[in-house]
Structure 1
Amino acid sequence: MPSLVSGRIGDRKPCPRQGDWYARNMYIQGSEQNKYHVAHYGHPSKFGYKDIIPLWKAEKWDPEKLMALYKKVGAKYFVSMGTHHDNFFLWNSSLHRWNAVQMGPHKDVVGIWQKEAKKNGLKFGVSEHLGASYTWYQPSHNADTSGAYKGVPYDANDPAYADLYHPKAKADDRGWYTTDPEWQLTWYKSIKELVDTYHPDLLYSDGGFPFGDIGRDMLANFYNGNVAYNNGQLTAVYNCKQPSQGMWVQDLERGVQDSISAYPWQTDTSIGDWFYRTGQTYKSGTDIIRMLVDIVSKNGNLLINIVQTPEGDLEPDMLNTLDEIGKWTAANGEGIYGSRPWKKFGERPENAVKVKSDNFNEDRMKYTAEDIRFTCNGNKLYAFLLDTPTSDIRIKSLGKSSAINIKKIRSVKLLGSKEKIQWQQEADALVIKKPLNLPAWKVSGFRIELAD
């Protein structure tokens, strides 16, 4: 959920609309966001991020309508921003005055999203980016090193706002997570309040597992609270960007695994920028669908950031992308929801470049019609082609002499089509004659029924 708003106050636009990390970069002299801020608001010693926050009104936000749309698109769980690195809470906090109930839209954003998610039968989660906030905000304590305001401290140096910008960190405290023990305890209390108030099914931390023993106390509180809230059953999911042996679900930001993982995992990516930016471009529905299929074939889930305008609505290009995804999931969802990875995740062209599991590798993944991904559910095997085929389809893993598939094939159906599919199981491959009328989408799914 964006934390900035657009509109006009007199002749001045009150919202930057300049994308992610604005609250940090506006304090870095010479950055594009700093230049924008100075040009539109003045110097950050006089007009800081604290002055941006009250401008957010979210006057076009319609959570009921949006949640119904997300369900139609095919979402099974919804994750609300709890707080980003800017230390502005989107819930009704009794611990922190900088929150969306007391300022900006004057709405309990997390609580409202929770209500709508539950009403639509979606699991509900929250993301917290607070752990990194202490060091992330440190540029706000600096001053320009040149120009008319050289040496003039930015507004974070005013102790009246230390609860937003944090105290100035020690010179050697510059990691993603601070070593400051007082802040670590503040983080714990804040996340405990969030979890104890809203009982999320999922909690996401933006980084590796935070703060050692304090982090373990946080996780224990989350898991134990979930057990108590769910009549003795643990249903909670915790995400962070660190592998574990089943203690939590690893998240890859804008990245995918290169093989089937023994443990469930998650990719989080965005259809556009993470926060609204004027002129941004959006991923197409095909881009998202390809990622979804690839990820699910490797035992993962996909969490998609839906970029709202600061007013709270969606742009036409975003709606087009969501519409494309929704039409595809309506026809192909049986091969995604409730499915499991097969014996192998799929087939790749012989000359395909191997992309290692990592964060931020999604742009290096190039998909073709020779890229096939498998999922399964009982005796149904699903084979997805990641681009439109130009000739007959050969699935080598399903040939009669294949060492992988030892079951007889009973039938082949193109999902989303009534056309009778012609196929033949040869020694080296299952050969599917190219359908006469492929669906409108580029990613085609085939249901292949195997003998018991």
Structure 2
Amino acid sequence: MKRRTLIKGIATGLSSLYLSDLYAHSLLASQPIPRMAPGPFLPTWDSLRQYQVPDWFRDAKFGIWAHWGPQCQPERGDWYARGMYQEGSDQYKYHLEKYGHPSKFGFKDVINEWKAENWNPEELVTLYKKAGAKYFMAMANHHDNFDLFPSKYHNWNSTKLGPKKDIIGGWAKAAKEQDLPFGVTVHASHAWTWYEVAQRSDKSGPYAGVPYDGKLTKADGSNKWWNGYDPQQLYAQNHALSKDSLNDGSMGGYWDWGNGASIPDKAYCDSFLNRTIELINKYGPELVYFDDNVLPLLQVSDAGLKIAAHFYNTSVKKHGKLQAALFGKMLNEQQRKCMIWDIERGQSNQIEPLPWQTDTCIGGWHYDRRLFDNKGYKSAKTVVHTLADVVSKNGNLLLNVPVRGDGSIDSEERAVVEQVADWMKINSEAIYSTRPWKTFGEGPAIQSVVALSAQGFNEGKGKPFEAGDIRFTTKGKTLYAIVLGWPSDKVTLIKSLAPDNQAGNVSHVSMLGNDRLNFEQTSEGLKVQLPDQPPRKEAFVLKIEGAIV
């Protein structure tokens, strides 16, 4: 099938009625097609350039994310629904032992095992607000193509199968009770190529040549638990494989539908469009994150542009002004004016002119029991250091706390969250509603920064932070210096506040959570005498008055 040309524009002045009629197809023909919200935004890049990042998001700085779905049920790490079909992989071997061969027990059957029996969204979101989160986001679907809300356009969803619960509805209610802006993350545009591994069969062993379950059809469900459900609506594998599909590492090359990727048909694109519009209409999220290069299906469909315009217009209608935050990866300079640039597991190395976001995790994206067993989570210290670094560069941090298959978080994760809460209780003044200073920071770690790669992924690759590493934020005429380690001689030197740096005359220095401190402004910088112990071990904050901000 030839690649379709992306619709690049719609004439200015196109009526909202015509915009509503652009949807010409529905996967489930019996269901009404959701209408696109009229408003100032059209599904074109020129129109989306009207976007301005809302102040509430710029002030929030810190959000927590539940990247949770049926792939957490095996508790064996990220991308389980793909790895279980890759012969010889860790997840394949684990699947054989726990569930059986993927020709007999596929991912559809893992979904059936997932019950979320201990899920308490109210308790978790309350904990996350205590930790300092100013917004909360929940995964609405992953590359596994399973919707976590009652979609009229997709029978494979969590209200009909698996836990038989409205997961997004539960998270949304809990966020509203805590007065937190609520967001959803949408990943399902990639299922077409991501699930191609389910078309395979073993190359050796007793099941050699026996196909996995990726090509099953509705007719194969007779006398099965999934009778009446079409596995192809989940797997979307009624198509030829992408070029080089048998190479397990090829998926990254297909992310923007290049390098010989099989191109999805209209029904697939329309289904994704309808489901996402329905999700926005049903829950009214303030934030939407796409796990896509720029926008979903951008190179083969205008679905992503339509969703962006609809999301913005619904926000304008709801609030009287645009309050929406929409995220995409690998944005060029023009696209960053239309939405918010998201960096996965990494940070910018400079103060960005426009607000941006890092998304990262204290463990794997999907729950992995081995990280609990081996105490492999990020520490609260690492989380705090990441937050300080990101905020100093005009960014926000979205932190995933992996949720177990049963809907709970483990004791090690809870300890990290509670330690972050304790730090924020003392030091959040230097985080919320702040803006960057003239420089984001100083210290030895700056000399070993690692450039961003693809979507990000430079996290933890530079030199670890130490007592000489400082990150700056400002609020009004106050400068905050977030010091990322405790000096052995109890003296902090801030070189950026030397008089020859035109820093002004410092008049007052105190430590958040402590008293006023003695200081001296010398040609070397601002020397601050510290107390015997810091308020918290992760980092401490100096509040400085009189410096030029």
TM-score range, shorter chain: over 0.9
CA contact (8 A) 2:509 2:543 kept: yes
Q: Does 1:436 align with 2:436?
A: no
Using the TM superposition, name which of 335-344 and 38-47 deviates more: 38-47
2:251 maps to which residue? none
CA contact (8 A) 1:4 1:17 kept: no
Distance 1:140 1:427, change over 3 A: same
- The SS at the match of 2:313 is helix
Using the TM superposition, name which of 336-345 and 45-54 deviates more: 45-54
Q: Does 1:396 align with 2:495?
A: yes
CA contact (8 A) 2:380 2:538 kept: no
Q: Does 1:259 align with 2:350?
A: yes
C-alpha distance in 2 between matches for 1:430 and 1:41: 62
1:373 maps to which residue? 471
- How many residue pairs get aligned? The number is 440
2:175 maps to which residue? 117
Q: Does 1:203 align with 2:288?
A: yes
Q: Any residues of structure 2 matched to 1:347-366 within 5 Å, and which? A: 347-349=442-444, 352-358=447-453, 359-365=456-462, 366=464
C-alpha distance in 1 between matches for 2:357 and 2:470: 20
Gaps of 5+ in 2: 1-66, 219-230, 246-253, 258-262
Percent identical residues: 40
CA contact (8 A) 1:132 1:177 kept: no
Give 1:451 deviation, angstroms: 6.6
One-letter amino acid of the counterpart of residue 273, structure 1: G
User: Deviation per CA, 1:195-222, whole angstroms, max 9, x where unpaired?
Assistant: 1111111100112122233211111111
CA contact (8 A) 1:376 1:382 kept: yes
- The SS at the match of 2:460 is helix
- The SS at the match of 1:266 is strand
One-letter amino acid of the counterpart of residue 265, structure 1: W
Distance 1:17 1:105, change over 3 A: same
Give 1:297 deviation, angstroms: 0.1
CA contact (8 A) 1:138 1:168 kept: no
Give 1:351 deviation, angstroms: 8.0
User: Deviation per CA, 1:35-85, whole angstroms, max 9, x where unpaired?
Assistant: 111122211111111111121111111111111111000000000110011
Give 1:350 deviation, angstroms: 8.1
CA RMSD, 1 decimal: 1.7
Give 1:442 deviation, angstroms: 2.8
One-letter amino acid of the counterpart of residue 73, structure 1: A
Q: Any residues of structure 2 matched to 1:278-297 within 5 Å, and which? A: 278-280=369-371, 281-297=376-392
Q: Any residues of structure 2 matched to 1:212-227 within 5 Å, and which? A: 212=298, 213-227=302-316
User: Deviation per CA, 1:120-149, whole angstroms, max 9, x where unpaired?
Assistant: 111110001111121111101111122211
Distance 1:66 1:49, change over 3 A: same
Give 1:100 deviation, angstroms: 0.9
- The SS at the match of 1:263 is coil
C-alpha distance in 1 between matches for 2:390 and 2:324: 21
2:45 maps to which residue? none
One-letter amino acid of the counterpart of residue 498, structure 2: G
1:176 maps to which residue? 255
TM-score, structure 1 as length reference: 0.94
Q: Any residues of structure 2 matched to 1:409-424 within 5 Å, and which? A: 409-418=506-515, 420-424=516-520
Q: Any residues of structure 2 matched to 1:44-443 within 5 Å, and which? A: 44-160=102-218, 161-172=231-242, 175-178=254-257, 179-182=263-266, 183-209=268-294, 210-212=296-298, 213-231=302-320, 233-243=321-331, 244-280=335-371, 281-349=376-444, 352-358=447-453, 359-365=456-462, 366-391=464-489, 392-403=491-502, 405=503, 407-418=504-515, 420-443=516-539
CA contact (8 A) 1:374 1:382 kept: yes
C-alpha distance in 2 between matches for 1:451 and 1:353: 28
2:79 maps to which residue? 21
CA contact (8 A) 1:141 1:168 kept: no
TM-score, structure 2 as length reference: 0.77
Give 1:177 deviation, angstroms: 4.6
User: Deviation per CA, 1:267-303, whole angstroms, max 9, x where unpaired?
Assistant: 1111111111122121110010000000000000000
- The SS at the match of 1:187 is helix
Gaps of 5+ in 1: 7-14
Distance 1:337 1:351, change over 3 A: closer
- The SS at the match of 2:447 is coil
One-letter amino acid of the counterpart of residue 401, structure 1: D
One-letter amino acid of the counterpart of residue 257, structure 1: S
